[in-house]
Amino acid sequence: MLHEYRDEISVLKQENAHFAKIFDEHNELDQKIQNISEGREHASDAELGELKRKKLVLKDEAYAMIMEYKKTH
């Protein structure tokens, strides 16, 4: 997620518990979606869609936090 901001993500994960939580939840959802897509786990289309929506919300929140961090550093 957001690989171009690797340095900022590293700092935020250490300094901001909420960011770290969001980042970890995003990665867990990403892995679950990948498992479903590859047939290792099962979910309905509606469930898969909801997982993707949640993942996008977390990514948007993390991105906003990264942009705020960049403004102040």
Q: How confident is the model at residue 2 (pLDDT cuts 50, 70, 90)?
A: confident
pTM across the whole model:
0.88
What tens digit of pLDDT does each residue of 6-56 get? 999 999 999 999 999 999 999 999 999 999 999 999 999 999 999 999 999
65 neighbors 1 (Cβ within 8 angstroms) = no
Alpha carbon distance, N-terminus to C-terminus of the chain: 21
Residue 2 φ then ψ, to 5°: 50, 50
What tens digit of pLDDT does each residue of 60-72 get? 999 999 999 999 9
Q: Is 39 left (phi over 0), alpha (psi -120 to 50) or beta?
A: left
Range of the domain at 54: 3-72
Total domain count, the chain: 1
Structure tokens at 14: 């250490």
